[in-house]
Structure 1
Amino acid sequence: MDNTVEDAGGTPTLFELCARVVNANMDKLEEDVWGLPAVVLQGILPLLNIYYLERIEHAAVKKGLSTQSIWCKLWNDVMKSKPSRFGTVTCWRKKFLEAFFHNVLRGILDISSDQRLYDQRFSPLVHSSRHVSELTICNKQQGVTELPPVVLECLAKSVETLKFLHLRSSDQATLKSLKLLLHRLIHYGQVNKVSLLSWPSPDTKLLVLILSISAGFWQQQKNCPCTFCLKQTLNSSTELHPEKRLETNSLTTSVITDPINVQPRNIVEEDVGSQSALLSLQPLNITQNVGTDHSECSVEFPVHQVSKNTHAKNARCLKLSPTACGSKVASTSQNNLLSGSDIQDNFKSETDDLYDFIFSVPSTGEGKTLGIKNGHKEIAKEKPSEVSTVAFSDDLPPMEERSSRMLFFEGAHHFRSVTVLNLHNVHLTHSSCRSLCHLLRSWVSLEKLTMAYNDLGANIFLVVEALSALSRCPGCSLIMFSMGDFKTYVPTLDLAHTILTTFPSLQFLSLSYDLEFHNEKDETKHILPEFKENQLKHLEIRFPQDPLPTEHLISVLKASTFLLELSLDNATFICSEDLKNMLHILAEYNRALRRISFHDMKMMDVHNEIFLLLNSPCLEEIKFSFCRLFERGSEEFLPGFVDVLKRNPSIKTLKLCGNRLGNDGLAALADIYSEDSLSSVQYLDVSSNLIRPEGLLLFAKKLEQCRKIKLRHLSISQNLLDRDPVMAKEALQCLEGVCCVVSDNWDSAQAFADHVSVM
């Protein structure tokens, strides 16, 4: 009998009346309640507010009780949203309190309207902040100015990831508070990952501020002091936290000067939007011969230069302003923030601190033109003796960007910096990209760098040059580089060669973009040096539309003998023999592969090579997505495909979405769960495979005849199940007791009409 539920007439039970009195006097009875028997405590738990429910967690666990269902109900009642069906919530308490903190911080949750959320004896932000491992700051950074020091203390101990989403410009007070918040959480806290997401038109000052503090730089100013810097000088900080501090040396002094308004030596900047920005990129030192009638076009990475100036070892730190952090936040307040900012930007800089590419281009005084061919710059009708190094006249950035400066200048110190940086959908102008690159040059603690849809264009050359400089720094830690963009000027495998040559110990490489001004006829003749042996464990490449140079892909696969994961997307081969050769290389040189993914590739004529891959004893997951696998010769291929799966006990995940499997193919796949099968496939994805209800029902009936079924998850989305809803429902009911089925209400007729309309 559940004593916590009121009877049919609405009268509370005696137990519930007592429990309500206990709940109202928890400030006095808390320790006594913790000592109650488990059967009594179980009835009281649902009546407690979130503050005491969180505090009683330890006592409840010791008595064998779980509060997860209570926190889950709170989530459904308060947040009114459901987690992703593919996500697994390991702790509802943490999930609720982390979301609760963000909603209170932004003033979008009225806690006074629910007695479970309000208690005048507790601060909502202080109580929930200890559960915030990922702090999200969005829009105009609402609530940042109102964070009291006690909340910052809690956040510094719990937050490991900082996420910035849809940021907008804010007033000066908010910017100062944000600066102190970043300094506290990154330099003195536990934050090791910073993500900037969905910021298509970033405020340059705010962007540089976040990047600079993430890279470890901090400049004490009278109007923005820090109490933690007050407690110890820079020297004592280094002694107390040697593992969290980077020594202020020649590697760090070179990046704290002004990267925008100072004219650097031997630097060439180009209009990113013009064709003149197209340059050849090859590893480190490049000499591009363009014929006897043309001079050489070279790109060199100069030796790392450092300033002779050194930073002061001790900095005078000022007392914390009482208005910097604000007072206790009101739980339902909304912040009306003004736009604009006023950041100090007058400082000195040394030209010796700046360095960049050296481009050898023709003198413009003779009125010569530049030709573009195959993504490379060619010098029209110039002799080698007429080549000279020149600086472009459009070196100055647009007026709105000239006021943006690096916020950390002479006297800045290098504190603890983050190890993971993610820039997703953050548009990088030429000047902001330069600011990022000057930080990257000595960001030796950086382990993972992800850049996605930053509209880099020709700025990719700045990024690669900065990474090259970083690779020469002692203690460089980069093991992961991921770059996805709309279009850039470097052939994918050329960039892969440059990155792997620069970082031979890189473990994760992901490249995905289209190629600008690409000539596929010349690309097949492009000569690229052989890839050298590397330490790659994960390689992920999405190729442009044009046929790829197979010999280059084979070269990188041969050199990557430690690969555990491989993903190839949109790889177009000139002929099927090239694809067969690549698959043979995989089976011969990459025997440690555990996960393989092929997407949007024509693989209907490489059946024997697929069998070769499926025989691998290490393979755990394989994906053929929209590869037209069963389009041709499926009568002979399908039985062999099933047979090789039955003999391989290592494969646990099989994804075959979009391969025209059909009813017969799905029925054949049921045989991999027969009694004589060694298969361990637990996850099967057959979505988008023209499967009808009768085919799904036949598959379900065949599974019912199997004694030991290892299938745990079946995805059948975007099939033709709407053709007979009654039969489809019957099939799904048969599968309910076998595995978890992911389906949808896909309208196949409308989808076909949409497809025809865009043809």
Structure 2
Amino acid sequence: MAKVETRGKSASVESLVQICIKAACQHMSVLEGRIADLPATLLKDLLPHLNIVYLDKIESVVQSKGMSTSFVWESIFKDLVKTWRCRPMVTQPNCDWKQRSMERLFHVALYTHNRGDKKYLSDLTEQTVLSLTVTHVQTLSVVSRKVCRLASEELKPILSVLETVVGCLKLLDRWGPWTGVETDLLYILHRLLDHGSVREVEMGRCYGLDLQNWITTRCRRTERVAPNVNHNSGDLPVAGPSTEPHCSYASVPGPQCSTSAMEGEACKRRRITWLWDMPTEFPCDTFLPKCGPVCPKGQINSLDMQVTPFEITNVVSPSLPSWLGLHTLHLHNERLFKDADLLLLVNSLQLLCSTPGCRLRDLAMAVNYLTPVDAVLEACPSLTSLSLDIFPPSPRSCNKLVPRRALKSAEIIVFALEKLYVRSYHGKVLIDMEGLLSVLRQAPCLSSLHVSGIHPASPILTTLADKTNKTLKSLTLDDVSLASCHYEILHLLENSNLQDICFKDCQLLEKCKLKEDFLAAFVTSLKGLSTLQSLALPENRLAKSVKDFADLFSGHTPSRIVKLDLSSNYILPADLLEFGTLLSLHKRPLQPSRSLILDLRLNPLDRDQDVKEEALRTLMPFCHILTDNWDSVSTMADHISVM
């Protein structure tokens, strides 16, 4: 690219290729049919300059030339989502960036009028963007009152498509009070849940008890019945996305509605009480003019709810035994349950799980430090996944849940548990360790264990190593001190079949007099674990010790690890260069599909840019590197300024 002087200032002159690319973008409507005639290299240069309509249209042509548009969709997603570095998808080489980008663009078009100067949206109307992206929306997020536009005549075709493609509905609590649009919101929810494909629902805290009740009735197991169409009455069968199904029942039935109300014979009005105390009345048959006389009823298989103790007592626990259609139930709360509330919830879970036909397999809930983990699992022995958030006990808590081991029962229950997640956000806490260890011993199929903020760790590691059935494949310890557990770690590695290990913020080297002694034994044990595929050691301040992990790939039997996470370890450029140099001595360059994924994010590599670039060049033949442009100096200055 040449430069010319213009009145004392240098001005860039566009190259011939850039001029051609700009002209091609401006005349794509004419050139679209001949795009296949372009050389592959020129076509690749053209792709980042196209809007999403043409990018979508020429995708088959690009693929026919042995290329992919994925790199463009990835850049679009990262432009839309500034927090992409923190998302796990960036570590997935086969991530569907097009679907992610299209889904995000749909929400941008639906909720945002000012889309900025985005070349991938140039010359496109809101209706065009919505129509193109709607087929890619797998998860619909309700984040503002603007969602009610989907009930308008203009966007009703968009809503009809959403019914067929959306599988997950997120009702997020990010807006102020609603005024006058509740009926439109309920109509949209009704279409997606009862006429659509939604099977997963996530609810925030801004919706009130009546809407919670209305949604949770869809957790009961029911068979969908095809609309009973009477051709003599003039009703038309459902023929496509634009044809409206038919409704026969009140939109929000509740305790005030009798059975006859479900048939449209009584209970013409119902009050909806919102959390901010803004009641709105609407007829039970609000949707009848829009949907007709016959309607199916939705079926929710997965429910994720933000709840208060009051809602647990008055909404969830009373109706929980009837939720036979649920496979997954996640309950999140920020306030501690009283003993009576927790006991009521566990009793309701036990009633549900003892009912023939119960499908519940995945449960997340909150308990207190005194709650025995095995007592919760004994109420639901058929669970395959259990996640427990640990809270401090309430004042005068005496814990009314009693496990069988405390009763000295001769019967030993074998749990079907495959995944267990136990975490506390209130510092490293002591829990009923015997209850946790009992679960580990009585779960012969346990394949994944995640423990966060719990101590001590040594009994857990010892129990896992002593299990006769080596089914555990994934182990994550987060904010769990392992500084005094080196022997237990090595013993576990020598007696397991782990495939995925994550020790995050575990102070691995905090009490080491000679770090090299432990690291040498640690690396040797990791190499001897032939099943290991992923090793993550973030936030352990490895710093200069990072060089020792190059030995994972040395010798006649190098490790088979395909992903190594060394993020947030205060690794400086010189340390990384030494690691890269040693790695190059041990590891042969591999095919891209088999290269090592090396995560180096959130390390202060900006301290010496030249050494950083040299280190990255050294690593590139052997690794797919995940890095960022983290400004560690500014971050540290900001941290000090608020101390």
Q: Select the residue among 388, 402, 414 that pairs with 1:533.
A: 414
Residue 651 in structure 1 maps to residue 532 in structure 2: yes
CA distance in 1, matches of 2:281, 2:221: 14
| 2:263 equivalent among 306, 315, 321 | 315
* Aligned residue pairs, count: 577
How far 1:540 sits from its partner (Å)?
1.2
- Mapped to 2, the partners of 1:82 and 1:91 lie a distance apart of 18
Q: Which moved more, 1:718-727 or 1:647-656?
A: 718-727
SS where residue 186 of structure 1 aligns? helix
Report the Cα distance in structure 2 between the residues aligned to 1:581 and 1:11, rounded to whole angstroms. 61
Choose between structure 1 and 2 for higher RCO, CA contacts under 8 A separated by at least 6 residues: 1
Does the Cα contact within 8 Å between 1:434 and 1:462 map onto a contact in 2?
no
Paired residue for 2:162? 155
Distance 2:468 2:175 in 1: 50
C-alpha contact 1:692 1:721 (8 A) present in aligned 2: yes
Is contact 1:42-1:65 (8 Å) kept? no
Range that drifts further, 504-513 or 597-606:
597-606
TM-superposed deviation, 1:511: 0.8
Q: Distance in 2 between matches of 1:750 and 1:166?
A: 30
| Pair 1:508-2:508 in alignment | no
Aligned match of 1:615: 494
| Equivalences for residues 643-722 of structure 1 within 5 A | 643-659=524-540, 661-663=542-544, 665-689=545-569, 691-708=571-588, 712-716=596-600
Unaligned runs of 5+ in 2: 1-12, 232-237, 239-251, 286-292
Is the CA contact (8 Å cut-off) linking 1:481 and 1:510 kept in structure 2?
yes
CA gap of 1:614–1:565, structure 2 versus 1, over 3 A, is: same
Which residue of the partner structure matches residue 89 of structure 2? 87
Rg larger in 1 or in 2?
Answer: 1
Maintained 8 Å contact 2:479/2:506: yes
Secondary structure of 1:457's aligned partner:
coil
Change (3 A) 1:128 1:735: closer
Work out whether residues 337 and 394 of structure 2, in 8 Å CA contact, stay in contact via their aligned partners in 1: no
Kept in 2: contact 1:550–1:582 (CA 8 A): no
Q: What's the CA shift string for 1:278-334, capped at 9, x where partnerless?
A: xxxxxxxxxxxxxxxxxxxxxxxxxxxxxxx9946983599xxxxxxxxxxxxxxxx
Describe the SS at the equivalent of 1:130.
helix
Alignment partners' CA distance in 1, 2:73 and 2:642: 48
Aligned equivalent of 2:103: 98
CA positional deviation for 1:160: 1.0
**Structure 1 residues 401 and 230: alpha-carbon distance in aligned structure 2, compared to 1, 3 A threshold:** farther
CA distance in structure 1 between the aligned counterparts of 2:578 and 2:326, rounded to whole angstroms? 53
Is 1:185 aligned with 2:185?
Answer: no
What SS does the aligned partner of 2:381 have? coil
**2:565 is aligned with 1:565:** no
- Residue 181 of structure 2: aligned partner: 174
Aligned to 2:301: 419
Mapped contact 1:212–1:407 kept (Cα < 8 A): no
2:29 equivalent in structure 1: 23
Is the CA contact (8 Å cut-off) linking 1:186 and 1:213 kept in structure 2? no
Please state how far the C-alpha of 1:721 moved relative to its aligned partner.
5.8
Partner of 2:485: 606
Seen in structure 2, the aligned counterparts of structure 1 residues 489 and 734 have a Cα distance that, compared at 3 Å, is closer
1:549 to 1:42, Cα distance in 2 relative to 1, 3 A: closer
Superposition deviation, residue 686 in structure 1: 3.5
Cα pair distance change 1:442/1:520, threshold 3 Å: closer
The equivalent of 2:436 in structure 1 is 553
Tell me if structure 2 keeps the 8 A contact 1:163–1:196.
yes
Separation in 2, partners of 1:155, 1:90: 22
CA offset digits 1:100-136 (Å, max 9, x no partner): 3222222424699979655689754334322211111
**Structure 1 position 140, deviation (Å):** 2.2
Kindly tell me: are residues 724 and 408 of structure 1, through their superposed partners in 2, closer, same or farther at Cα, counting changes over 3 Å? same
Cα distance, 1:65 vs. partner? 6.1
Contact 2:420 2:448 in 1 (8 A): yes
Query: 2-side partners of 1:231 and 1:626: how far apart?
Result: 61
Counterparts of 1:627-638 in structure 2 under 5 Å? 627-630=506-509, 631-632=511-512, 634-638=515-519
TM-score w.r.t. length of structure 1:
0.63
Whole-angstrom distance in 2 between the partners of 1:420 and 1:748: 44
Q: 2:533·2:561 contact (CA, 8 Å) conserved in 1?
A: yes
| Contact 1:98-1:129 within 8 A present in 2 as well | yes
Report the secondary structure of 2:561's partner residue: coil
Question: Structure 1 counterpart of 2:168, which letter?
Answer: T
TM (normalized to structure 2)?
0.73
Q: Once the 2 structures are TM-superposed, how far is the Cα of residue 437 of structure 1 from its aligned partner?
A: 3.3
In structure 2, how many angstroms separate the alpha carbons of the residues matched to 1:12 and 1:706? 47
CA distance in 2: counterparts of 1:11 and 1:640, whole angstroms: 56
Q: Which residue of 2 aligns with 1:130?
A: 135
2: CA distance between counterparts of 1:179 and 1:755?
49
Structure 2 residue matching 1:608: 3-state secondary structure: helix
Question: What one-letter code is carried by the residue in structure 2 that aligns with 1:345?
Answer: R
The SS at the match of 1:734 is helix
1:443 matched to 2:369? The reply is no
Tell me the secondary structure at the aligned position of residue 441 of structure 1.
helix
> Match for 2:351 among 457, 462, 469?
469
- Identity over aligned residues, as a percent? 22
What displacement does 1:638 show? 2.7
CA separation of 1:103 and 1:109: change in aligned 2, threshold 3 A = farther
Answer yes or no: is the 8 Å Cα contact 2:218–2:297 preserved in 1: no
Question: Is the contact made by 2:269 and 2:282 (CA closer than 8 Å) also made in structure 1?
Answer: no
Distance 1:518 1:556, change over 3 A: farther
Partners of 1:8 and 1:725 in 2: how far apart?
A: 30
